[in-house]
Structure 1
Amino acid sequence: MNVSNATIEDVLNRLTNQTKLYFQRDNNTISVTATSPSTAQASPGQNKTVSGLITDATGEPIIGANIVEKGTTNGTVTDVDGNFTLQVSGNAVLQVSYIGYLAQEINTTDRTTIDITLAEDTQALDEVIVVGYGTARRSDLTGSISSVQGADLTSRSTQMLSTALQGQVAGVQVTRNSGGPGAQGTIRIRGVTTLSNNDPLVIVDGVPSSLNDVIAADVETMTVLKDAASAAIYGSRAAAGVILITTKRAKDRQFSFDYNYEYGIDRPTTRPTNGDVIDWMNVQNEVKWNDGASDPYSQYSQETIGSWLTNHAVDPYHYPNTDWMNLLLKKSTSHEQHMLSVTGGTEKLRTKSTFNYQKGDGYYESKSYERIAGRVNNDYLVNDWLRTNIDLDFSKSNAISPSQINPISHAYLASPYYPVQWEDGRYADTKDGENPLAALRLGGTNRQNYYKFGGKAQIDLTPLEGLTLTAIYAPRFAFTKGKKFTRAVPLYYENGSMTYMAAHRTTNLEETRND
């Protein structure tokens, strides 16, 4: 065939008409097929086989890379040579991933052979971790170290930083003996490691401090040193591990004003169901029977048990069926939090100020926690070899609880056989000088106020590149004030006589302070 002054596409079309072969141009490559590409291409509703090779940036095959058809569970892995074959739909998108590499999504439309090169995920390897002697890249670390970002801590709706750490770091156990507002967590790094103090050493911006003195929203990063190598830096204080906290600071030419408000409703996941007065009387009879009584109804007769609820509907004061759980405990409670942050900075001077207010109520009356806290971080760059930091922080908290009673235990242990009040509103003696509802409402409160003021002045001098001399002065003042008011609570019998609760016989006021 002789052709002149014609395009390549015209030549290929003429060849197709003469030879019945089909030619397709892809850049500088021309492919020849016996069938038309339009008919050979799989439609979206048809399946096709896709194969290919997966390598890294150096051309080495990646063994065990995951290839999954997006939106399905259809997938495979590469073999020892990096090859794969997978049956997919006509317009499938493949998701390719492997540990330490960036994932990719590949569209297979018009393609049946795919070669893929995965790039290393350098971000995870280059992440800077704060360690006891400065900072280091994660790829250079040899000790057992875990890091948590501040955003992961603030996502937890909790008032204490120790409880926000729960479940965040492997090898760190956080337990709580109470779910009440302001309850703190006990932290154990890899279990009990010493016979003395097992609390980890907490370092905030290079200064020993307390974990719960820091608001979660102020945390930039939290690093947990879990192995014995931390003792080389901090000595015996690090026997139970070290927690390093870096607070947020302003950045160059960063100006922002942020306000965040949180309000939440708290409900118990589930509550045990108490038995009613009929269950209680049957249990008392069974106790007597197990102790050797001759009659299984030795304490409460069948007639008494059978008619009790009928009589209760007419005379609830002499035939009570008291539900102490609903009387003492709330079905739900609430908490709220206000967060204000002001950030400003120039090339020389940068300031970040945060103010926080928290309040949470407990699941019963006279139980609450309230805290006001603030932090101001200032950075001043004097010149290339001298910089200073001046930080201030403060907090004030107020925890309120009942003076003597634990309502939760009484909610499940108090007998439904005894009335709460008589018809005239006076509180009844349930048994042996006890009435948990009267103690909760009239018995007084225990208030604990905690005050903390702290500051840090730091000078960093860099006389030579790679050498920094640091001087820190960090005073810290903390003290508590307690006021426990216990009131005498009178209880009355049906005949009108009166007695006082066993734990509330007198009215007194106790004040404690350690300032």
Structure 2
Amino acid sequence: KHKDMQENNNHAHFASKKSEKFLTVMKIWFLISLLCVFSISAENTYSQSKTVSAELKNITLREALQEIEKNSDYLFLVMDDTERILSTKVNASFNSQSIDEILNLLLKDTGLSYSIVNRQITISRKPLAEESKTEINTTNEVVQQTEKTITGRVVDEKGESIIGANIVEVGTTNGTITDVDGRFTFRVANDASIQISYIGYLTQTINTTGRTNFNITLVEDMQSLEEVVVVGYGTQRKANLTGAVSTVNVEETLGSRPIPDVGRGLQGTIPGLSIMVPSGEVGYDPIMKIRGQIGSIEGSSNPLILLDNVEIPSLQMVNPNDIESISVLKDAAASSIYGSKAAFGVILITTKKGAATEKTEITYSNNLVWQQPFKEIEIAGIDGLEYTLEAHKNMKASGPAGGFWRISDESFEKAKEWQEKYGSTIKYNDPVVYGRDWIYDGTDKYGYRIYDPVKTMIKNSAFSQNHNISLNGKRKETSYSLSVGYLGQEGMMKPAKDDNFNRFTGNLNLSSKITDFLTVRGGAMYSDATKKYPNSPYGFISDPWLYLYRWSRLFPTGVLENGEEIRDPYFDTKNAHTAVDRKKYSNLNLGTTLDLTENWDFNVDYAYSTQFNQETTSLPTFSAREPWYTPVRLYDDEGNQVYVDENGNPTDTGGMPAYRFPFVNYVTKDKSNYYKNSFTSDKHTVNVVTNYYLNLADQHMFKFMLGSNIVSYEWDNHWSKKTDLIDEDNPQFNFAVGTETVGGNTNWDSQVGYFGRVNYSYMDKYLLEGNLRYDAT
């Protein structure tokens, strides 16, 4: 009995502990449930409490969702298979409505559904079962009938899944990528073709008509992987590259385009290579940067440009038609093999060397081009005056707005009236008239007329031409290439006497295999480029263009006042002397290759290059009416004050006293001058490179390279300037009688570098490369 009582007590104690544990679990469950309900309630409360207003007039559903994003805190996540339906046009207006109300209306009868989690809204297709239960309009029925869902798997030749392959419906942006198992699913048109692509594999295009399931095998692009790429002092198979090297398909990139230089042709073709043309003027070198813009505050951050392993000063000297290949070295391996000059990358250009098989080809090509501005050049007119006036008021500044030409509320209204009254009748180059086009109140000038500097300064079109003739061939063991090219470009500056760029180029390459172990080669290159442009009296080459934007359109441009010229960009350019910038470059090179064994070669190359630059400018006297400062009274031939009405017509009685711009000599005779700057340079370059190839059991592949690079560079420049021209129509030193000043400089430097590289490949799968360079200067 005692034992039974003890057992009962134990059972009661156990039941009590079990009840306490159960209550504890129930409390925790209740708390978690309460938190979940609160969380869901909070999320729903957010979506219910926030209202959105939007005007969605005749735009696509995708644009409507983007507009809602702008006007709210919501973010939309759109699934890939909704692309076609998102192109549906919508027309609706919402004012302080909840997001649920808006989406229910926008997505009605579209086959799309949405889900809201906090601030993220996911747009997706309704499940097929749900779509079949939902009534849809005729348009959507047609969409459903002409679409289908396709599935498939993408693998390589070994049957392994390809993750991240791109599958795109041809002719659309509708597409998807394969998952970790190489599988994909998305909707396409019934008769669609899909394109499958992946890096290192050949792209495939498959027609899906009559099929919904696909097993796709991608084949490796062996041609791409076997392609030989020019790298530092040698070549490598593309498959074995370890550094950041980009190559250019020269034929596609440069072959069919009427481009003046290589730099402009490379724009947008190489990742990490930024190319900017600093001026629209013909003959200007593009600025090229690799992986960034600024590398040194005082030094240059330009890449090293090598033509057949010889540094060249400008890409303008290279005829794009002579180029065989271009490689861009972008990482630290560039400077480790080319030295400190390559700290900001290397651009390697190789010229054509001749035919690969026994034949002779003569090729002539040309491009005749009429160039126009690619978009309308707009300079602020009435809207610019209004902005100036409003900005002046917002700053609470005193007096009228503007600088040399003032703007007030009254003159702004007059300017608008002028446009209505004269805008369609007075031509852009008609003379400026006081009273009609501008007034002077005794303190400030106020303009009414808006001038057109673009039409005044810029041609409607400019002619350019490019001619190339080349001879390429091979006879037995000798390959040869000879080419001659001409480029002629006209600039867009309308009033200039000369605004053009001309370049003549010649290139010769010969290579002959004398014996089984000895090959000799040689070549020559010549470039003669001349740029002509108006020498601005302001001292800046591009100043006429600068002042188109710097000045208000109230400044008279390209018009006469009472038959006399006005100081402005048009007449300064029209009366300027032509500046001539001529650059000549020539290169002679010799080289030999010794094949010491089947796996060991020895290469020696020598190049001599010379450069001659000459810049010639002259500055004549300049006199004109000055529209900047205080005007003067206008008198007739008898010395009487002229009076005009509001249309600028002289009056015998009444009217306002007329003014005109003062006459100034802003380049006087003692400031006129003739100037010449000459620069010459000589460079000697020697490259010695040896390569050794080692193959161990067809698994371990080694390539050893050692070499030396020696450069000697000497330059000299001289400039002279003589003032006071006595014959401005034929400027030269003999026809100047003023002060003569001269100057110049000279320099010599040399550099020797020793470098090496080791490449290792294990079964063409695992690659290792090491570079080393030592420089002395």
Q: Same fold (TM over 0.5)?
A: yes
Q: What is the aligned partner in structure 2 of residue 7 from structure 1?
A: none
State how far apart, in whole Å, the 2-side matches of 1:277 and 1:76 are.
Answer: 47
Once the two structures are superposed, residues 417-470 of structure 1 have per-residue CA deviations (whole angstroms, 9 ceiling, x without a partner) of 5473244x4314xxxxx3332211112121111111111111111111222211
What's the offset of the Cα at 1:223? 1.1
Once the two structures are superposed, residues 14-71 of structure 1 have per-residue CA deviations (whole angstroms, 9 ceiling, x without a partner) of xxxxxxxxxxxxxxxxxxxxxxxxxxxxxxx998887766443223344455556656
How many equivalent residue pairs? 465
| 1:172 counterpart = 2:239 | no
Q: What is the aligned partner in structure 1 of residue 322 from structure 2?
A: 218
Tell me the SS of whatever aligns to 1:123: helix
CA change 1:112–1:327 in 2 (3 A) is: closer
Normalising by structure 1, report the TM-score.
0.77
> Residue 258 of structure 1 is aligned with which of 352, 358, 363?
363
Alignment of 1:220-299 (within 5 A): 220-251=324-355, 252-264=357-369, 265-275=371-381, 279=385, 283=389, 291-293=397-399
State how far apart, in whole Å, the 2-side matches of 1:81 and 1:288 are.
Answer: 63
| 1:337 counterpart = 2:466 | yes
What's the offset of the Cα at 1:394? 0.5
Identity %: 29
Task: In structure 2, give the amino acid aligned to 1:416.
Answer: L
> Residue 394 of structure 1 is aligned with which of 520, 523, 526?
526
Normalising by structure 2, report the TM-score.
0.53
Once the two structures are superposed, residues 346-397 of structure 1 have per-residue CA deviations (whole angstroms, 9 ceiling, x without a partner) of 1222211122111222221232211111111111121221111111111111
Once the two structures are superposed, residues 245-276 of structure 1 have per-residue CA deviations (whole angstroms, 9 ceiling, x without a partner) of 11122123132222221122231423123426
What's the offset of the Cα at 1:107? 5.6
Alignment of 1:42-191 (within 5 A): 54-65=154-165, 81-82=181-182, 95-106=195-206, 115-151=215-251, 152-191=253-292
Q: Return 5+ residue gaps in structure 1 as ranges.
A: 1-44, 429-433
What's the offset of the Cα at 1:484? 0.5
> Residue 209 of structure 1 is aligned with which of 312, 317, 320?
312
State how far apart, in whole Å, the 1-side matches of 2:291 and 2:468 are.
Answer: 34
CA change 1:89–1:315 in 2 (3 A) is: closer
| 1:324 counterpart = 2:429 | no
State how far apart, in whole Å, the 2-side matches of 1:301 and 1:92 are.
Answer: 63
Task: In structure 1, give the amino acid aligned to 2:295.
Answer: T
Once the two structures are superposed, residues 128-186 of structure 1 have per-residue CA deviations (whole angstroms, 9 ceiling, x without a partner) of 11111311112212112111122213455432222322222222222232111111112
Q: Which moved more, 1:397-406 or 1:153-162?
A: 153-162
> Residue 363 of structure 1 is aligned with which of 492, 515, 520?
492
CA change 1:80–1:339 in 2 (3 A) is: same
> Residue 614 of structure 2 is aligned with which of 477, 481, 485?
481
> Residue 384 of structure 1 is aligned with which of 491, 498, 516?
516
> Residue 675 of structure 2 is aligned with which of 500, 510, 513?
510
State how far apart, in whole Å, the 1-side matches of 2:465 and 2:396 are.
Answer: 52
Larger relative contact order, structure 1 or 2 (CA cutoff 8 Å, min sep 6):
1
State how far apart, in whole Å, the 1-side matches of 2:282 and 2:533 are.
Answer: 10
What's the offset of the Cα at 1:241? 1.5
Q: What is the aligned partner in structure 2 of residue 426 from structure 1?
A: 564
Kept in 1, the 8 Å contact 2:486–2:503? The answer is yes
Alignment of 1:294-309 (within 5 A): 302=410, 306=414, 309=418
Q: What is the aligned partner in structure 1 of residue 736 from structure 2?
A: none
State how far apart, in whole Å, the 2-side matches of 1:278 and 1:107 are.
Answer: 56
CA change 1:294–1:134 in 2 (3 A) is: closer
State how far apart, in whole Å, the 1-side matches of 2:209 and 2:160 are.
Answer: 27
State how far apart, in whole Å, the 1-side matches of 2:175 and 2:578 are.
Answer: 63
Q: Which moved more, 1:66-75 or 1:114-123?
A: 66-75
Q: Which moved more, 1:208-217 or 1:101-110?
A: 101-110
State how far apart, in whole Å, the 1-side matches of 2:185 and 2:388 are.
Answer: 70
> Residue 589 of structure 2 is aligned with which of 456, 465, 473?
456
CA change 1:98–1:449 in 2 (3 A) is: closer
Kept in 1, the 8 Å contact 2:576–2:620? The answer is yes
Tell me the SS of whatever aligns to 1:469: strand
CA change 1:49–1:330 in 2 (3 A) is: closer
State how far apart, in whole Å, the 1-side matches of 2:217 and 2:276 are.
Answer: 46
CA change 1:166–1:506 in 2 (3 A) is: same
Kept in 2, the 8 Å contact 1:461–1:469? The answer is yes
Q: Return 5+ residue gaps in structure 2 as ranges.
A: 1-144, 438-448, 538-542, 626-631, 638-661, 681-777
Kept in 2, the 8 Å contact 1:145–1:224? The answer is yes
What's the offset of the Cα at 1:305? 6.6
Kept in 1, the 8 Å contact 2:148–2:187? The answer is yes
Task: In structure 2, give the amino acid aligned to 1:292.
Answer: S
Q: What is the aligned partner in structure 2 of residue 20 from structure 1?
A: none
State how far apart, in whole Å, the 2-side matches of 1:404 and 1:499 are.
Answer: 17
CA change 1:48–1:484 in 2 (3 A) is: closer
Kept in 2, the 8 Å contact 1:443–1:488? The answer is no
Structure number, greater radius of gyration: 2
Kept in 2, the 8 Å contact 1:78–1:84? The answer is yes
CA RMSD between the two structures: 4.0
CA change 1:180–1:155 in 2 (3 A) is: farther
